[in-house]
Amino acid sequence: MKTHDTTDLSRRDLLELTGMAVILGALPLTAGIATAAEGQKLRIGIIGSGHVGSALGGVWARAGNQVMFSSRDLDNDKKLAAEVGPNARAGTPQQAAAFGQVLLFAVPYSAFPGLMQSLGSSLEGKVVINASNPFPQRDGEIASRASEQGAGRFDAQMLRGAYVVRAFNAVPAAEMASAHEDPGKIGMPIAGDRRAIGLASRLIREIGFEPVVVGGLDMAKYLVPGTPLSGEHSPDEVRSIAATLKP
Ligand SMILES: NC(=O)c1ccc[n+]([C@@H]2O[C@H](COP(=O)([O-])OP(=O)(O)OC[C@H]3O[C@@H](n4cnc5c(N)ncnc54)[C@H](OP(=O)(O)O)[C@@H]3O)[C@@H](O)[C@H]2O)c1
C-alpha cells in the first residue's frame, strides 16, 4: 500500500474506506480521539460563527447534537444560540475548543495564528473539521504559504495535536443549512486524517450531504473554491472528478 505519511492513506484506500464508513457510520478510532456509538449525539465546538459556522452549528444542533458557538463577539453568539434553541450555547473560542469532541473552524485564514496561540494545547486529540479557506488576497501571507504547501498539509502542521479533515470548503453556506431537505443529493468531498474521517463523515451525512472521501491531507488542496470539485455535485460526480485528481 502506498502511503504518504503515517496519518495519510492513499487515495484508493480512502475511496474504499468511504464505502466502509458509509456502512459503519464511523471507522474505528484510535484511543484518545472522541468516540461515539452510532446514533449517539456529539458535542461540537464551533470556532467562527459567521455564515458557515452559524449554518452548520444550526443544523447540527437541530439534529440533536450539543453545539457551542464562538467568535470574538460573545454577545452575538449568545443571540445566535438563543435563536437556534436548547441544544446551542455560546462561549469563547477557548471554551468551545474545550467543549467540543469535534471542532469546526470557520474563520478567515488570517485568524489562525492568534487562535492557535490562545487555544494552546486544547486541540489535542480532537477531531477538527476545517472549512476555512486560505485566500492570499484576503488573508495575506499565511494563506500564500498554505496555498503553496496545500491546505491540508498546512492545516495539519498548524492545528497541532488535532486530527484534521477538510470539508465544506467550496459549497455555499446557504446550502449547508438546507441540504437536509433533500438528503444524499449533494456529495461532500472530504479529505484528511484517516482517524477523523469516520466521525466527520457521520456529521456530514447527518445534515443531508453524502460524504465522499477523496484522499488524505495531500488531496485537500482540491477542496478549495476554484477547483473541479468545488460547487454542487452529486456523490457520483464527486467520485468521478476525484478519480481524475493526483496527490
Ligand atoms: N461563506 C461561504 O459560503 C463559505 C463556504 C465555504 C467555506 N467558507 C470559508 O469559511 C470561512 C468562514 O467563512 P464565512 O463566510 O462564515 O465568514 P464570516 O461570515 O465572515 O464569519 C467568520 C467568523 O469568524 C469569526 N472570527 C474572525 N476572526 C476570529 C478570531 N480571531 N477568533 C475567533 N473568531 C473569529 C467572525 O466573528 P468575529 O469577527 O466577531 O470574531 C465570524 O463569526 C472562510 O475561511 C471562508 O473562506 C465560506
DSSP string of 23-69? HHSS----TTS----TT---EEEEE--SHHHHHHHHHHHHTT-EEEE
78-85 long-range Cβ contacts below 8 angstroms, 24+ apart = 80/49, 80/54, 84/57, 84/58, 85/61
pLDDT surpasses 80 at 63: yes
42 and 65 Cβ atoms separated by less than 8 Å: yes
Q: Kindly state the average pLDDT of the residues 59-70.
A: 98
- Res. 35 pLDDT band, cuts 50 70 90: low
C-alpha cell at 202: 457521520
Ligand 1 atom nearest residue 71's Cα: 34
pLDDT surpasses 50 at 17: no
Per-residue pLDDT at 233? 97
Percent of the chain at pLDDT above 70? 85
Rounded to the nearest angstrom, the distance between the alpha carbon of 107 and the centre of ligand 1 is 3
Domains, the chain, in order of start with CATH, read 11-26+33-243 (3.40.50.720)
Pocket test for ligand 1, best of 75, 105, 107 (most atoms within 8 A of CB): 107
Nearest CA to ligand 1 atom 20: 50
Cα 103 → chain centroid: 8
Nearest CA to ligand 1 atom 27: 107
- Whether this prediction's pTM lies above 0.75 is answered by yes
- Res. 209 pLDDT band, cuts 50 70 90: very high
CA–CA distance, 6 with 25 (Å, rounded to integer) = 23
Cβ-in-10-Å burial (0-12, 13-18, 19+) of 75 comes to: exposed
Radius of gyration of the chain, Cα coordinates, nearest whole angstrom: 16
Nearest CA to ligand 1 atom 19: 50
CA–CA distance, 74 with 94 (Å, rounded to integer) = 12
Q: Kindly state the average pLDDT of the residues 81-90.
A: 98
CA–CA distance, 1 with 80 (Å, rounded to integer) = 47
Per-residue pLDDT tens digits for 98-127:
999 999 999 999 999 999 999 989 999 999
Pocket of ligand 1 (CB under 6 A): 47-53, 71-73, 93, 106-109, 111, 114-115, 131-133, 168-169, 172-173
